[in-house]
Chain A
Amino acid sequence: MTKILIMGATSAIAQATARIFAAQGASLYLIARDPQKLADVAADLKIRGAKNVFSRTLNARELDQYRQVVEDAATQLAGLDAALVAHGTLSDQQACEQSIDRLVDEFTTNALSVMALCTELANYFSAQKHGTIAAISSVAGDRGRKSNYVYASSKAAINCFLSGMGQRLSKSGVKVVVVKPGFVISPMTAAFKKSALWATPTAIAPVVAQAMIRGTPVVYVPWFWRPIMLIIRAIPERLFRRLSF
C-alpha cells in the first residue's frame, strides 16, 4: 500500500494511522479543511518517513469537488492504491432536534460527503481493478439511541452504503473496509469523562492500518466492541424503547 489518499487528515485517528503508513515509506495525499493544521500534519508525516506528501484544503461539504480531488490525487501520486475517509463531527443531538438546517448539515458532513467521495473512489478503483476504500464509521451506527441518533444514523447510512458498494466491487478486486471505533480519546471527545473502555488513537491505528492492508470488510476497534454491539443489537426493539442509555 504505497499511494494513499486521506480525507480528514487532521483527525487524531487519521494522523495516527497515517504515521504508520509514513513509516513504511508510503506517498500520501492529505485533505483537510484547516490549512495550518494540514501543513503541520504534512510536515510531520514527511519527517516520519513518507516518501511524498501532497496536501489539499477542502471542506467535506463541497460535494462537487470530489471527482476533481480523486483525479488530482491520482495525478500527483502517479496512481492510487487506497483511501482512508476519516472526517466527521460529533453532532449536537439536541440542536439537531430543533433545527432542520443543523440536521441537514450533519448528514452532509457525516454521510453524504462520505458517500460522494467513496462513489468517485469506487469508479476510479474499479476501472483500474484494484484499490482499497476505508471509511471510519462508528459503533454508534449499530443502533440509534436517544442521546445521539442523528450522528448514529449518519454512520448507519454509510455502513449500509459501503456494504452494498463492497458487494458491487468485490468482483473487480476493490476492497471496502468499514472501521467502527468505540470510544476514542480525541479532540472530538475532549469533553467526555473517560473510563477504562476508552482507547487512544495510537492504540487503534495499527489495527486500522492492518484492516486496510488485508481488506477486512468490517473491523471493530478495539475488538471488544464487536461482542458488546452484538448484544446491544440483539435487544428487542420493544424493550430497547424503554431503556435509557
Chain B
Amino acid sequence: MTLKLSWGNRPRQAQRVTTLTSRHEGIPTESSLLPFGNGRSYGDVCLNEHGVLLATRNLDHFINFDPKIGVLECEAGILLSEITKHTLPHGWFLPVTPGTAFITLGGAIANDIHGKNHHRAGCFGAHVLSFELHRSNGEWFCCSPSEHADLFTATIGGLGLTGLITTASIQLRQVQGPWLTGSSHRFANLQGFFDLSSVADESNEYTVAWVDCCAAGRRLGRGVFMLANHTHGDGSITARTPLRLPFTPPISLINRYSVKLFNEVYYRRRSAEKSVARWHYQEFFYPLDRLLEWNKVYGPAGFFQYQCVIPEQDAARHLKEMLGRVAATSSASFLAVLKKLGSIRSVGLLSFARPGITLAMDFPNHGSRTLALLDSLDAITREAGGAVYPAKDARMSSESFQQYYPAWREFSGFIDPNFSSSFWRRVTENIKK
C-alpha cells in the first residue's frame, strides 16, 4: 500500500498502485480497481482507498494523426500538453482545454471537462469520436455515438467507473498558430460580470473572469474579465521551462492577509484593463502551469476546491449570497473563477457542465471550519437547483450528490463490477460520519 495523493493533497489514503505498461495487456483481475490519470482532480474521484489504482501514464503513445482533417487517435494516458506540442505545428489545437495542460486524455473524458469556450464548444466529450473501453471480465468495446452508445455516454463523465479507457479518437480544432488576441476588463461588482458576459460570449470564443473573493459590500463580486480568440502570427510554440516549488512549506502560505494583498494587487494592476491584449496560448490557458506543484503552497494540510454551477435564472442572487458568505469568513480564496456555461448539452450521463454560471474557489483546509463553510455553500447550490463538480470535490454529502446527479442510479448499471472509487463509495453508500 502506498499513499497516493490527488491535487488537493487530501484525503490522504493508502492504496496499491499497478502501473500499466501496454494497452494490449488487459487489466489485472484483482478487485476494486480504478484508473488513475495524472491526479489533477482535487479530491477523491481518482482515489480508491484500500483498493488498486491502475496508473495509466505509460499508455502515452500516439496512434494516428491525420493533419488534413485534425483527427487524432492516441492512448489515454497521454497528457494534453503532449498533444498540443505535436498537433499545433500542423495547425490543430484541443477542442476544449481546462486550466492546466497536465491532465491525461483519459482524465479529460472521465470528468467530461469544460473550458473557457464552453459556451461555444460544449464539453470535451462532445469532441470524442470514439474510444476503446476495457472491462475487468476481459471484454472490450469500441464505443462511439453509434456503437455501444449507452456505454459511450456512461463513460464520458463516468469518473473512471465503467472500465479502463485505453485509447481514444478526438476531433481537434483548427487554429492559425499559438497566439490569442483579446482584451481584459475590470468589473466593479457582480452585476458588472453579468453585463460583460452577456455581450462578450456572443462574439468571442474564450471568456472567463477572475473574481476577488475578499471584496465585500458594494464591491462584492468585483473582478477582471478576459476574452480571447485564436489569431495568426508566428512565434515559438515550444514550452517554457516551468519552475517548481522545491518543498512543502510547513504551514499554508495562503491566508487571509496574503490573499487580500494578492487580490488587491491583481485587481489594481495596469494590465487588468487592456483594450488589446495578445497572449501565447500557454500564458492564456495555463498560467498556473508555470509553477509546477503550486498546490504545495497550501502546506501539508492541503486544500479544498469548491466548484458549482448555478442556473442562470436567479444566479445573481445566489452567487451574491455565496460570495458574501466567503468574504465574511477568513477562509479566503485567491483563485476564484466565474464563467457562464452555455446551453450545449453535455454528452455524459453524469457530466457536470450544464447551462448556468459556474464559480470555482480554493480554500486552505482549516478542518471543520472550512467544511462548515462548504456545507453552507452546498445549501445554496441545492436551493438554486445547481450542482457541484466531482472532479473538484472531496466532501459533498451523498444527499447533495444524489440531488445534483439524479441519473446516478441509471449510471450505476454501467459500472464495472470490479471498479470503485473513494468518491463513489462516499456519495452513494449514504454513510454519515
Contact = CB atoms under 8 A, between A and B. Distances in A.
A47 B86 contact: yes
B64 A43 contact: yes
Nearest to A200: B57
Given A36-B24, A37-B22, A12 B61 contact: no
Contacts of A48: 62, 86
A40 B21 contact: no
> SS class of chain A's interface: helix, strand, loop or mixed?
helix
B257 to A, nearest CB: 34
Interface string B58-88: 1001111100000000000000000000100
A234 interface: no
Interface in A26-79: 36-37, 40-41, 43-44, 47-49
B61 A40 contact: yes
Between A47, A48, A49, the greatest number of chain B beta carbons within 10 A of the residue's beta carbon is seen for A47
B21 A49 contact: no
Interface residues of B, number: 12
Contacts of A12: 58
11 contacts: A12-B58, A36-B22, A40-B23, A41-B61, A44-B61, A44-B62, A44-B63, A47-B62, A47-B63, A47-B64, A187-B19
A143 to B, nearest CB: 29
Interface of A: 12, 36-37, 40-41, 43-44, 47-49, 187, 190
Contacts, number: 30
A40 B23 CA distance: 10
The 8 closest A-B pairs by CB, nearest first: A47-B62, A44-B61, A187-B21, A44-B62, A47-B65, A40-B61, A36-B24, A190-B19
Given A43-B63, A187-B19, 8 more contacts: A12-B58, A40-B63, A43-B62, A44-B61, A44-B62, A47-B64, A47-B86, A187-B58
Nearest to B23: A40
Q: Which of B58, B61, B62, B63 has the most CB of A within 10 A?
A: B61
Contact of B21 (A36, A44, A190): A190
Nearest to B87: A47
B178 to A, nearest CB: 17
Nearest to B19: A190
A87 B58 CA distance: 18
Contacts of B19: 187, 190
B71 to A, nearest CB: 12
Nearest to A190: B19
Contacts of A47: 62-65, 86
A181 B77 CA distance: 25
Contacts of B62: 43-44, 47-48
Contacts of A37: 22, 24
A190 B17 CA distance: 10
A36 B63 CA distance: 12
A220 to B, nearest CB: 23
A49 to B, nearest CB: 7
A190 B58 CA distance: 12
A173 to B, nearest CB: 32
A43 B23 CA distance: 14
Nearest to B89: A49
A48 B63 CA distance: 10
Contacts of A43: 61-64
A190 B21 CA distance: 10
